[in-house]
Amino acid sequence: MKVFNSGILAVVPDSTPAATSPDLLMVCIIAFVAVMCILSILSILIQLITRIFPALETDPGPAMTQAIHQAVSQTIPGARIVQIKPIPQKK
């Protein structure tokens, strides 16, 4: 206990290193659990959003076909596109 000049009596604990420094392992575990909880919540939200608003299945039009032809001819000169079909998505 310490008595200050103004007459206030205060209880000040001893400042030992063990009392003031947090356990590093415990801090790491708590941080890991917190991050995993946040990531789990975000993954659930993403799943809900993708189920509520599914991707629209559209047939690639002539503009998309022309864009694919231009991209392939710029990347691989002289290449010939035989068939364009969408990649099947997992459901």
Structure tokens at 71: 């991209």
* Residue scoring higher pLDDT (15 or 47): 47
Q: According to the model, what pLDDT value does residue 21 have?
A: 62
Q: Are 81 and 68 spatial neighbours (Cβ–Cβ below 8 Å)?
A: yes
- Among 12-21, 26-35, 36-45, 53-62, the range scoring the smallest mean pLDDT is 12-21
Which residues have a Cβ under 8 Å from the Cβ of 1 and sit 6 or more positions away?
Answer: 9, 10, 11, 12
- Once rounded to an integer, what is the mean pLDDT over residues 3-20? 57
**Does the pLDDT of residue 13 top 80, yes or no?**
no
Tell me the one-letter amino acid at 37. Answer: C
> Is the confidence at residue 50, as pLDDT, over 60?
yes
Q: What was the pLDDT predicted at 7?
A: 60
pTM comes to 0.45
